[in-house]
Structures are given as C-alpha cells and as structure tokens.
Structure 1
Amino acid sequence: MDGSASLKDAAVRMWERVVARGIGTPTIEDVLSHIRTLRSLCGTGSIDGFSGELLDKLDVGICVQVCEIVSKSLPTSNTPYHMLARWIRSIARDKPVEIFTTNYDLLLEQALEEERQPYFDGFVGSDSAFLDLESMIEDDLPPRWARLWKIHGSINWWMTKKNKIRRSRDKIEGEQLLIYPSHLKYDQSRQMPYYAMLDRLRIFLRSDQCVLLTCGYSFADEHINAYIAQGLSGNPNASCLAMIFNDRANARKAVELAKRHPNLTVLAADGGIVGTIDRPWESVTKDGNPAYPIAVGNDLPAWRTKASPEQCKWLLGDFAAFGEFLAHQLSSRDIEQDQADAV
C-alpha cells in the first residue's frame, strides 16, 4: 500500500469484512472482488465507512503490491517452466497446446521465449501490444504456436485513459493494472480479456477427445469451475485430470465436481476421485517404472498432507515435481528415438 496509517487501517477492516463472509483464508481475488463490489454500490458517496476514493486507493494499492511481489525472473534455464516449454516444443502436433493460467506473473512468457517456443496470448504488437479479439476467435495460427491464456489478468496488462487494453512492461501515469478484471460490466471493453479467455476454455473443452490437465489449481474460482463442468457435461469425449497440491479436503469443490462428472479425475496428495469413486491411495509402492518415484512417494511434510507416513502420496500437484516428470518424459523420448535411429 502507500504506507499511510488510514489506508492500512482500511485494508485491515476490508480483510475482516471478507473473513466475516465465511471465507476463512481470503485470496487476493476475494478481497478485490469485495472492494470492487462496494465501489460499484457507493457511487460518489460512501458505504459502511468506505468512500469511493478510499476504495479506489485500496484497489490500486493491492494491484501495485501484487505487481511488485510477482515481478521476478526465473533464476535459471532449468526450471519447471522451461521443462514445460521444451515439452511443448519437442512434439509435432495437429492441434496446438493451450495453456490456461490464473497467475499474474511473466514466468511462462520468459520460459517460452528463452526456449524459442512461439506462442500467442491474445495481444498483437511489441512496444504497446493491443488485444486482438478477432485473432483469438479465428485461431488460425499454426499448431506449433502455443496459446497462452491468462484468465486472471497479468502484471503487464493496462487499461488506458481511453478504455483500451494494452500489454506492455512500461507504466504510464493514470493507467490501471488489469489484475482479476472479472468484476467489470459486460459493456466495458476492459473486461473482454477475462471473458474472451474463458471462452477459449469453453471452445477447447468442446473439441473432440481433448484432455485438460490442471496442476496446483484448487478449483477456488467458480467461473472457471462452471466452464469446466459445462465442458465435461457437454462433451463426454473430453477429460480433465486435476492434480491437487494438498489433500482432497483442501479442494472440496474439485471433489464435488469429480463425484458428479466421471470424466473429471482428481489426483490429490492423500487420495483421488476416479470414475466418481473417492478413495485414499494404497500403502504399497510399485517398482519397475522409472517415472513412478517422480509421481508417487511416501515422504511429504505434514503441512502439505495429513495422510499417514506409510501411505502413498501423489506428488505431481507440485509444479516442480510436474516439471521433473516432463523432463523424464523428454529424456525417455530421446532414448527411444536414439534406439530407433540405431536400428
């Protein structure tokens, strides 16, 4: 925030309001949604002790703090992000890989560019790129181009004074960061990235025999959940593998959806829901598959799972472990190719 005592006090009061709504540990999106709802109600006046000006300052202050916190670069060229980019680049395909992320940071962009993997994120241009909705709808780029859809916005998306959306690392005074723009009215152009990119998820789930793989997503966003549920209901050939970081109890909405949709499989640290059946993992490990210890193990800290020490745990809800798994897949593919070339 700006460091003023009044703004800090307002932030504390806002946090307490969100918690009082029954949200035990609010997310940034929960707080921003509440601030923006109050702002839309108070108009030029005030509501519950919050003036419109104070609510605006809270909104801007939170977005600025988020930007400062996540404006980091990848430390090496051997991160899980790079592994994902290499995996995308390594396989010839008829249809493009589509990446849907709720993260605001630029780590995926950095990895894709460093690995020289072409991608399209809905924007066109370089110095001050503009949102091109027609290209998103037509989607006629080559399949080797990955699609990157940042559903909750990005730290380099800005709303200009003319209500136009641009993508740039440069900040211009008076422009607003577009982080979690789901609260805006349908007729406001600044909202279009949110719905346009959610629509890409809808279209993806309608495609024949598509596979949606989630890693670390706890199904906390009801809008995204609704699109996933509708897609799985409308397309029995679609499937979703949801890899959860913690236990099933930490992703109750994912569990509820999986019990209603047989084509949604939940893989959590302490157990899974497969074909609508909810059960814990066994305690018997299996040898013989070199990828098995990357995906399954017994040793996880207590803060991540409440499963007993001897019980097997699913590891790939951690993006770092998932990156290691992709690296193994790439190395196995290289070995198989070398063997084929030697014949």
Structure 2
Amino acid sequence: MVVTIGFEGSANKIGIGIIRDGEVLSNPRRTYITPPGEGFQPSATARHHQAHVLDVLQEALDIAKITPDQIDAVCYTKGPGMGAPLVSVAVVARTVAQLWQKPIIGVNHCIGHIEMARLITGADDPTVLYVSGGNTQVIAYSERRYQIFGETIDMAIGNCFDRLARLLKLSNDPSPGYNIEQMAKRGQRLVRFPYVVKGMDVSFSGMLSFIEERLDKWLAGEYTPEDICFSLQETAFAMLVETTERAMAHTGSQEVLICGGVGCNLRLQEMMRIMCEERGAKVFATDERFCIDNGAMIAQAGYVMFKSGVTTPLEDTFCTQRYRTDAVEVTWRDP
C-alpha cells in the first residue's frame, strides 16, 4: 500500500488530504472569505493559510487515522496559483517532509484536478474542461502530455464570475460563483452579451466590460440582478460547450470530464450533458467535495507520480505562479 499526503493552498483555500491506493482517507480544508464586494489579496490569504495549516494537518491525520511513519510521500502544489499563498503552504510541506524524512513531490495544480476527477468519476480518456477561478482550459491527453486544445485568452471564467459578484455586492460565502448560480436560477430575461470564441480559445473580459458599462442602467430599468447572473451563465457556458465539442470532434473522444471549482455548477453540467447526448457521448463531473480546491487532489496526483517513480529533489521544491498543464511529462499513463 502507498499513502500520500497532499498540501493545497494556491488560492483562498488551505486543504490537506490523505490518499491510500486511490482511497480518500481524509480531505479537510478551510476557506478564506472576504466581505461582499471584495476579492482576496495574496498577503492576507497567505496569513490565513499560515494561521490554519497546522490545525488542518492534525485534522487530516486524525480523520485518516494515519501516523507520519505510515506516509510514503509528501505532496504539495507547486503552481499555478497566487505566489504568497503557494509559498506559505510549500514551506510547511517542505518542513514536514524533512521532519518525517519522506520524499517530496511538487504537483501541478491543474493536473491535480484532472487526476482527482478521473479517480472519482472513473472517466478513462476524456476531453477535459478545466474551469476555475484562475484557469479555463480544454485539455486532452496525448503523447505523455495533457495537451491544451483551447483556453481563455484573458481572464478565467471563475474570475469573471467573481468580478460580477463584486459588482452586484454578492456574498463571498461560501463562494461568489455559488451565489451567482443560485441567483441565475431565478433569472427570467436573457440579456444579450458579447459571445467571443476565437478558434479554440475564449474571451471573457469583453463581456465583463460590457456589463460594467451598462449595469446601473439595466438595474434601474427592466433587468434584475438575477437576470444578469442568468445571462452571464448562459453565454459563458455556451462558449465553453462549443469549444469542448470541437475538441471532442478533433480527438474522437466520447467522454467529457468537467473539473475545477466552476465545474460544480449544475447548469454547466446540464448544458454539457445535452451536447454529449446529441453526440452519443458521456459527461463526468464531481461535486463540491472534489471539484473545489482540496488537498486530496494533490495527494492523488502525487500518488500516481510516486508510483511511476517521480519525486522532486529538495532543491527544486520551489513554487511557480505560471506552471502550465502541458509542461508536465505524464509518466503514469500509457503513451
């Protein structure tokens, strides 16, 4: 049996998870929540992680009923993400690895999402739609890489949702995207927003600027905040479904795997399911336990890396904010 522990802290969540041969033993986390209308700053987020990381570590060990001597490898998020939070958690992971005398593995955050979702859903070789606060990518595995077929050319969809939530002064508890999803369910009227698909890539910044310039007029007139949330979801998700379907046609894939924090959105899952049904394909998705940033996903990616013989030399256990999905050689899957 192989047991790995994963430390995740690339954004506003500090999570630590423990995996034993594909079984999730524990996965506690804490979320840094700011007042309505405010985002989370890197330095304040790092202080939040520093304040909670040891409690979360003890909780993960207690829930899993695992002692440090039973752990085979320590895994941490190397990137991408926000610099200060990434480093604050990596320092703890490095310290723990040396105290426990265990090998350490630096994990790509995006690949953590993919491997966790593959484990939970059982998807074999899917086209992946990875959507989160900091990333929006259409991905498929080929030639020992998770190749990026399309991505956002400006902001991630989750960041776009966050910015709208700030404009509407929505609560950040439990997350801006969740509260937008709930409001969208009550939307009645569709506002026509810019629909920007450029080849396989998408753009959200123009849509956000379009909303910012007209929001006060809309809300003073015929549209409600619920209508704005509904319209944003419908337009943005249609763009993502289009590019995902095009990637499926190129690769011949009959599976779609949605992962990342925005992947919890039930309307996105529904729209993707409709497209897949028309193609005779299947869609796979997870719930908030595993699609939102968590430590178990880092432990799972580290687990498959460790099983394939990959570890990270201590001198290379730095963090990088820009760590692309396709920069990692995938040693644990068939070519």
TM-score (norm 1): 0.30
Q: Higher relative CO (CA 8 A, sep ≥ 6), structure 1 or 2?
A: 2
TM-score (norm 2): 0.31
Structure with the higher fraction of residues in helix conformation? 2
